[in-house]
């Protein structure tokens, strides 16, 4: 089979590898669709914290090719989607309900990536975070499970009431999913981005107003002006992963408001903090990472309901040999995501 391996920034290779065999509790999936993700683009350009070479891709859906002993609840031929991680459910953090901080959070990618014709799913993920597709759900839509699970978790970690105003900064795939989830939870959503195409999709997904940051000198002010008396939004979500945008999100919330820092940044960065904002204005800042099994299950329900579909999120299709082109297009913002079809 073919799979994509990372060697160094700018050097990824489509290689031949043996089809994996499932061990106890494991499942081997024949992938039908894998999606590009901002994380893959970052890895392609900058590398990652793992020693290369490693397998790439973590958003895929396909058909069960083989079942290991004791893998229950599924059959060969079932169309499935597997999330890319599962916590241990035994450590201090899992018992505290903070599964994304699990001391032994298992990720399936990097050993068996999603940019591969066949992919082995670890037993723990099969048991916790793998789902059979209902009739009518496309593989492309199913493959949106992982990013949606992250955005859904982030939305639930953001406190706001029905009718509150929430600003989503950044309309990449995750930002657009935030737009949709916040809209469904009853927020008046303001979406910020520099791409008119992305902003048009944000509107389609429920944004009440959009701010093209390329057309305004002061983004925080432009957002504030959309709120009553310019007081600021009730909650601001950062979905870009740039420290400047973390600061910007802080500058657009009202007193007593909430800032969710969702986008991961390179290690070691710091953001200046106006202490009066935290003390006198009682602004809350929270970071979140990844997701939890409860939110993965909820995300799958959202996909079943058709709240997020591939039509808005995955534009072009490429064979695995064209992975670099697919990632470059994604990185250049020409598409929300691309699909690798097998
Ligand atoms: Zn992803
Ligand atoms: Zn744990």
pLDDT digits (tens, 9 = 90+) for 278-321: 999 999 999 999 999 999 999 999 999 999 999 999 999 999 99
Whole-number Å distance between alpha carbons of 249 and 190? 12
For residue 110, pLDDT over 80 is answered with no
Closest CA to 53 of 122, 118, 137, 110: 110
What is the 25 CA–ligand 2 centroid distance (Å)? 19
For residue 104, pLDDT over 80 is answered with yes
Cβ-based neighbours of 268, under 8 Å, separated by 6 or more:
none
ω into 53 cis (within 30 of 0)? yes
What is the 90 CA–ligand 2 centroid distance (Å)? 5
The reply to whether CATH 3.90.1200.10 applies to domain 158-287 is no
State the alpha helices, DSSP H only, in the chain: 38-46, 92-95, 123-129, 139-142, 145-156, 173-184, 196-204, 219-224, 243-252, 275-279, 293-305, 310-313, 323-331
Confidence of residue 49 (pLDDT cuts 50, 70, 90): confident
Mean pLDDT of the chain: 96
Burial class (CB in 10 A: 0-12, 13-18, 19+), 279: exposed
Distances (CA, A) of 161 to 214, 250, 340: 30, 19, 39
Angle at 177 between CA 3 and CA 254, to 5 degrees: 140
Ligand nearest to the CA of 92: 2
> For 221-247, what is the mean pLDDT?
96
- Beta strands 106-107 and 85-86 are antiparallel
The reported pLDDT for the residue numbered 251 is: 96
Q: What is the DSSP letter of 14?
A: E
Confidence of residue 266 (pLDDT cuts 50, 70, 90): confident
Distances (CA, A) of 172 to 191, 197, 209, 300, 337: 11, 11, 17, 20, 9
CATH superfamily of 2-148+291-341: Medium-chain alcohol dehydrogenases, catalytic domain (3.90.180.10)
- Tens digits of per-residue pLDDT, 8-45? 999 999 999 999 999 999 999 999 999 999 999 999 99
Q: What is the separation, in whole angstroms, between the first and last Cα of the chain?
A: 11
**Domain extents in the chain:** 2-148+291-341, 158-287
Ligand nearest to the CA of 174: 1
Instruction: Please give the distance of CA 308 from its chain centroid, rounded to a whole number.
Output: 13
Ligand nearest to the CA of 151: 1
> For 39-61, what is the mean pLDDT?
92
The reported pLDDT for the residue numbered 33 is: 98
Contact 319, 341 (CB under 8 A): yes
Confidence of residue 204 (pLDDT cuts 50, 70, 90): very high
Burial class (CB in 10 A: 0-12, 13-18, 19+), 210: buried
What is the 60 CA–ligand 1 centroid distance (Å)? 10
For residue 111, pLDDT over 80 is answered with no
For residue 93, pLDDT over 80 is answered with yes
H or E segment at 233? strand 233-238
What is the 286 CA–ligand 2 centroid distance (Å)? 21
The reported pLDDT for the residue numbered 211 is: 98
Ligand nearest to the CA of 128: 2
- Tens digits of per-residue pLDDT, 112-122? 899 999 999 99
> For 240-267, what is the mean pLDDT?
93
Low-confidence winner among 88-97, 267-276, 313-322, 327-336 (lowest mean pLDDT): 267-276
3-state secondary structure of 226: coil
Specify whether the backbone of 262 is left (phi greater than 0), alpha (psi in -120 to 50) or beta.
alpha
Contact 223, 147 (CB under 8 A): no
The reported pLDDT for the residue numbered 321 is: 97
What is the 147 CA–ligand 1 centroid distance (Å)? 5
Whole-number Å distance between alpha carbons of 280 and 140? 47
The reported pLDDT for the residue numbered 56 is: 95
The reported pLDDT for the residue numbered 109 is: 74
**pTM to 2 decimal places:** 0.96
What is the 222 CA–ligand 1 centroid distance (Å)? 30
- Give me the phi and psi of 292, to 5 degrees please: -135, 160
Whole-number Å distance between alpha carbons of 122 and 28? 9
What is the 274 CA–ligand 1 centroid distance (Å)? 32
- Tens digits of per-residue pLDDT, 180-189? 999 999 999 9
What is the 293 CA–ligand 1 centroid distance (Å)? 16
């Amino acid at each position: 089979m073919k799979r994509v391996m990372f060697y160094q920034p700018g050097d990824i290779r489509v290689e031949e590898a043996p089809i994996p065999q499932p061990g106890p509790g494991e499942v081997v999936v024949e992938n039908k669709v894998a999606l590009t993700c901002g994380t893959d683009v970052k890895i392609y350009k900058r590398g990652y914290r793992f020693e290369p070479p490693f397998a790439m891709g973590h958003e895929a859906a396909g058909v069960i090719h083989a079942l290991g002993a004791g893998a229950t609840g599924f059959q060969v031929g079932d169309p499935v989607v597997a999330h890319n991680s599962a916590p241990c459910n035994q450590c201090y953090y899992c018992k505290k309900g903070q599964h994304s901080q699990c001391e032994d959070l298992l990720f399936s990618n990097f050993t068996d990536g999603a940019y591969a014709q066949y992919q082995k799913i670890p037993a723990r993920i099969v048991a916790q975070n793998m789902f059979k597709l209902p009739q009518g759900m496309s593989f492309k839509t199913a493959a949106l499970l992982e990013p949606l699970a992250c955005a859904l978790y982030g939305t639930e970690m953001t406190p706001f009431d029905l009718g509150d105003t929430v600003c989503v900064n950044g309309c990449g795939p995750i930002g657009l999913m935030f737009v949709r989830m916040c809209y469904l939870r009853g927020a008046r959503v303001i979406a910020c981005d520099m791409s008119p195409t992305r902003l048009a999709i944000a509107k389609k997904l429920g944004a009440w107003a959009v701010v093209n940051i390329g057309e305004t000198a002061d983004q925080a002010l432009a957002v504030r002006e959309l709120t009553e008396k310019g007081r600021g939004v009730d909650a601001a979500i950062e979905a870009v992963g740039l420290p400047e945008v973390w600061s910007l999100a802080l500058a657009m919330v009202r007193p007593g408001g909430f800032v969710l820092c969702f986008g991961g940044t390179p290690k070691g960065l710091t953001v200046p903090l106006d202490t009066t904002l935290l003390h006198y204005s009682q602004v809350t800042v929270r970071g979140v990472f990844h997701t939890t099994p409860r939110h993965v299950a909820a995300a799958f329900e959202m996909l079943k309901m058709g709240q997020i579909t591939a039509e808005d999120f995955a534009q072009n299709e490429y064979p695995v040999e064209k992975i670099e082109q697919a990632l470059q297009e994604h990185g250049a913002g020409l598409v929300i995501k691309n699909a690798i079809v097998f």
